[in-house]
Amino acid sequence: MSQTAFLECGASGCPPTVPSPDGPAPVEANPLNGKYAVSSDQSLLYQISEVRLGPPGQAVNFYLNGVPGQDYTLATPWIWSAIQYDAQGKTVGWVSGDNLQIFPAYQIYANSFALPPIPQGDVSVFSSLDATSQYRGQQ
């Protein structure tokens, strides 16, 4: 779907309901997705999970949150987490903005059990992010 076709559709008053695609929406994986790393002080081992919406979702996000005239693929931030293990092999708690992307809502499960919920963040903070918002690694 091109950006122009999407914007023309929105401007021409497309029907209020859009059929859902068959199956799950496509996603784009970051080159860091699935990689392991060690923190610079060597106190943590971590694995990164980082993806974002695929091209159709990026076009929708651009329409809602993008900067006019910008490439639509630059408007969608990456959603990431970095599961961390300390030197004893215990997982480190989840902290939004540290090992968890700032995102409106999360629920994390371990061994099929829900962990205490991560407090819901401000959706406007996440909506203001773009493709430069990606995992930078542990310090």
pLDDT single digits (tens) 47-75: 888 888 888 889 998 998 888 888 999 99
Structural domain total, the chain: 1
Q: Does 6 map to a domain? A: no
In a domain, 4, yes or no: no
Q: What is the average pLDDT value for the chain, to the nearest integer?
A: 77
* Residue 1 counted as domain residue: no
Give tens-digit pLDDT for 102-117: 776 777 788 888 888 7
| Host domain of residue 67 | 27-127
Burial label for 126, CB within 10 Å (0-12, 13-18, 19+), is middle
Is 102 a member of any domain? yes
- Asked if residues 6 and 59 have their Cβ atoms less than 8 Å apart, the reply is yes
Would 63 be classed as within a structural domain?
Answer: yes
Instruction: Select from 135, 48, 38 the least CA-distant residue to 87.
Output: 38
In a domain, 137, yes or no: no
